[in-house]
């Protein structure tokens, strides 16, 4: 049975009213109703378009003689079209209006989904002004009143939101909470090393630097949902990694029944979606190194004018973004590599990201080799497929009871800085894709072995009970 036949997954987005959230919802709504619309973009201006899942490798079938990159139909992956989508936002703007205002998609599509999207619920978000840039404060009016709530009460509030969503939407598969909100400044939590410490602080202490993203992640873990850190902040850490371990949550349920934690498999993944410029960098530098060249200078810039970039005009949040952008090649240990990154907020560009990267390397007899790349695309159009794929992969691995570390390694290709069980993996994009394929084969081979054991045990029981003869058992084994 395929994943699409057997379950309906949940996707809960923190920052649902942002460009990524409304773009995902528009695509989901268009697919659900089979809409068509006239494209206003070039080339092909004026053509009639229909919904697709371009960029979502979990939703695309293999193509070409050697299979291409699509995985739909090869593994029992859930259907994104059948997923339930919801989430939180600290702004009250109706989702259809937010889609119209962000100017990411063709107007002919926007006008068809706007009314339905405006009717969709936006849950109030957890807000702490100290974690966001000053540019975000004025519009943060759709928020949970946390003035009298402890951290633990905030966690419980989000847990109830998750339970209510799953019940109302009749989610039968795995639910994944995805951070797609503005980048937070780094939290001062290096001293929190264990899950026990984290839970104690959340329950007993107010004077701690706990970020909203940590509140959402903790709630997700305790509800047996995965959490994906699509932002640059330091949400992932040893304490949360422990909390997502199934063995810890099983023990916790026995020792602290008041915590009422779920013992379903769940994963903590991140950090920062590797959607455009950085993804190509890891592929390009992998190519340069495969040629036997030595990368010496990577000078890159990108500019766009969406709200995420506006938030980065604050130095504290910019520091979080630069932390991940500068560190993407770390495990390669290229000691002499000068990697420079510049980001610019340009309001006129809206969501359209434009980036330029120059790669200079040393070649035979120390001669220079230089490549220059230029890319332009709507940032959300690149990011949304990663959000969908991360939720589908979490569901797949949870249904197969896969351990945390292999899942982190398999999904490392999604993130600028793979953390948790994927920390220190090879940064090369193609190497990471091969790791995904390897883990998928291991998981399905293990499942096939378990199925065969189950069949053998059933046949032996039939033989022992006199229902089957030895000859019949042998014939059935041959068929299996």
Residue 427, pLDDT above cutoff 80: yes
pLDDT one-digit tens code per residue, 138-176: 999 999 999 889 999 999 999 999 999 999 999 999 999
309-331 pLDDT, tens per residue? 888 888 878 877 777 777 788 88
- 289 and 268 share one domain: no
Q: Is residue 435 part of a domain?
A: no
Q: Are residues 40 and 102 in the same domain?
A: yes
| Three-state DSSP state, 8 | coil
Question: pLDDT class for 66, splitting at 50, 70, 90?
Answer: confident
- The CATH number of whichever domain residue 361 belongs to comes to 3.30.360.10
Residues 6+ away with beta carbon under 8 Å from 111: none
Instruction: Please give the model's pTM, rounded to 2 decimal places.
Output: 0.89
Mean pLDDT of the chain: 90
Bigger pLDDT: 235 vs 316: 235
Asked if residue 372 and residue 286 are part of one domain, the reply reads yes
The residues, ordered by sequence, that sit 6+ positions from 14 with a Cβ below 8 Å of its Cβ are 87, 88, 125, 177, 178, 179, 180, 181, 212, 213, 216
Q: What is the mean predicted confidence (pLDDT) over 280-289?
A: 93
Domain end, chosen from 338, 355, 378, is at 378
Q: In the predicted model, is pLDDT for residue 48 greater than 80? A: yes
With CA atoms as reference, report the closest residue to 15 among 90, 76, 82, 67. 90
Same domain, 305 and 256: no
The answer to whether residues 269 and 298 belong to one domain is: no
User: Residue 259: its pLDDT value, please?
Assistant: 81
- pLDDT value, residue 328: 84
Q: Could you give the residue ranges of the DSSP H alpha helices within 349-469?
A: 379-399, 404-410, 429-464
State both tokens at 119: 């009717």
Does residue 433 lie in a domain region?
Answer: no
365-375 residues labelled b (16+ CB within 10 A) or e (exposed): eeeebeeeeee
Tell me, yes or no, whether 434 lies in a domain. no
Short-list 386, 365, 16, CA closest to 180: 16
Residues 420, 422, 425, 429, CA torsion sign? negative
Total count of residues recorded for the chain: 480
The answer to whether the beta carbons of residues 276 and 347 sit under 8 Å apart is no
Please tell me whether residues 124 and 221 are part of one structural domain. yes
**Residues 444, 300: contact at Cβ < 8 Å?**
no
Q: Are residues 245 and 332 in the same domain?
A: no
Domain interval for residue 12: 3-273+382-427
403 assigned to some structural domain: yes
- Whether residues 453 and 391 share a domain: the answer is no
Q: Which domain-ending residue is among 361, 378, 395?
A: 378
Q: How far apart are CA 275 and CA 24, in angstroms?
A: 14
Compute φ and ψ for 345, nearest 5 degrees. -90, 115
pLDDT of residue 4: 46
Decide if 29 is inside a domain.
yes
pLDDT at residue 2, rounded to an integer: 44
What's 86's domain CATH number? 3.40.50.720
Residue 316 to residue 232: CA distance in whole angstroms: 12
338 beta partners: 297
Residue 39: band (very low, low, confident or very high) from pLDDT cuts 50, 70, 90: confident
- The answer on 466 and 356 residing in a single domain is no
Q: Same structural domain for residues 132 and 165?
A: yes
Residue 163 forms part of a structural domain: yes
Q: Are strands 294-304 and 10-14 parallel, antiparallel or unpaired?
A: unpaired
Has residue 97 been placed in a domain?
yes
> Higher-confidence residue: 452 or 406?
406
Together in a domain, 123 and 44: yes
Establish if 252 belongs to a structural domain.
Answer: yes
Q: With contact defined as beta carbons under 8 Å apart, do 389 and 24 qualify?
A: no
Q: Are 250 and 195 in contact (CB under 8 A)?
A: no
Task: Tell whether 288 and 268 lie within a shared domain.
Answer: no
**Domain tally for the chain?**
3
User: Does residue 242 register a pLDDT over 70?
Assistant: yes
Last residue of a domain, one of 341, 361, 378: 378
**Cβ-contact 286, 431 below 8 angstroms:** yes
């Amino acid at each position: 049975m395929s994943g699409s036949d057997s379950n309906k997954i949940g996707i809960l987005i923190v920052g649902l009213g942002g460009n990524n959230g409304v773009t995902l919802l528009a695509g989901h709504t268009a697919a659900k109703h089979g809409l068509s619309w006239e494209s206003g973009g070039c080339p092909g201006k004026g053509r009639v378009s229909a919904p697709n899942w371009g960029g979502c490798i979990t939703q695309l079938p293999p193509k070409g003689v050697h299979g291409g990159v699509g995985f739909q139909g090869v593994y029992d992956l859930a259907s994104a079209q059948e997923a339930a989508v919801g989430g939180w936002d600290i702004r009250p703007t109706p989702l259809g209006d937010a889609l119209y205002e962000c100017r990411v998609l063709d107007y002919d599509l926007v006008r068809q989904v706007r009314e339905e999207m405006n009717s969709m619920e936006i849950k109030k978000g957890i807000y702490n002004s100290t974690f966001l840039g000053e540019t975000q404060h004025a519009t943060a009016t759709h928020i949970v009143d946390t003035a009298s709530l402890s951290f633990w009460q905030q966690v419980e509030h989000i847990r109830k939101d998750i339970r209510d969503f799953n019940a109302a939407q009749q989610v039968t598969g795995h639910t994944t909470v995805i951070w797609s909100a503005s980048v937070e400044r780094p939290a001062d939590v290096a001293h929190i090393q264990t899950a026990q410490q984290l839970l104690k602080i959340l329950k007993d202490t107010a004077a701690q630097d706990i970020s909203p993203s940590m509140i959402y992640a903790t709630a997700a873990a305790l509800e047996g949902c995965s959490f994906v850190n699509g932002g640059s902040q330091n949400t992932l850490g040893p304490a949360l990694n422990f909390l997502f371990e199934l063995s810890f949550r099983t023990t916790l349920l026995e020792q602290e029944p008041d915590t009422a934690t779920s013992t379903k498999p769940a994963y903590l993944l991140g950090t920062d979606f590797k959607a455009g410029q950085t993804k190509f960098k890891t592929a390009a530098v992998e190519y340069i190194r495969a040629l036997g060249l030595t990368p010496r200078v990577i000078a890159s810039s990108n500019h766009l004018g969406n709200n995420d970039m506006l938030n980065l005009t604050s130095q504290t949040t910019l520091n979080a973004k630069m932390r991940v952008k500068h560190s993407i090649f770390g495990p390669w240990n290229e000691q002499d590599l000068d990697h420079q990154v510049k980001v610019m907020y340009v309001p006129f560009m809206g969501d359209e990201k434009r980036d330029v990267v120059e790669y200079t390397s040393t070649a035979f007899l120390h001669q220079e080799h230089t490549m220059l790349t230029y890319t332009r695309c709507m940032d959300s159009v690149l990011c949304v497929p990663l959000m969908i794929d991360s939720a589908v992969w979490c569901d797949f691995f949870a249904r197969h009871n896969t351990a945390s570390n292999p899942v982190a390694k398999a999904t490392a290709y999604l993130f600028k800085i793979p953390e948790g069980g994927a920390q220190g993996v090879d940064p090369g994009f193609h190497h990471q894709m091969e790791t995904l394929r390897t883990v998928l084969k291991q998981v399905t081979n293990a499942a096939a072995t378990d199925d065969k054991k189950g069949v053998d045990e059933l046949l032996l029981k039939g033989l022992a009970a006199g229902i089957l003869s030895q000859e019949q058992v042998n014939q059935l084994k041959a068929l299996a």
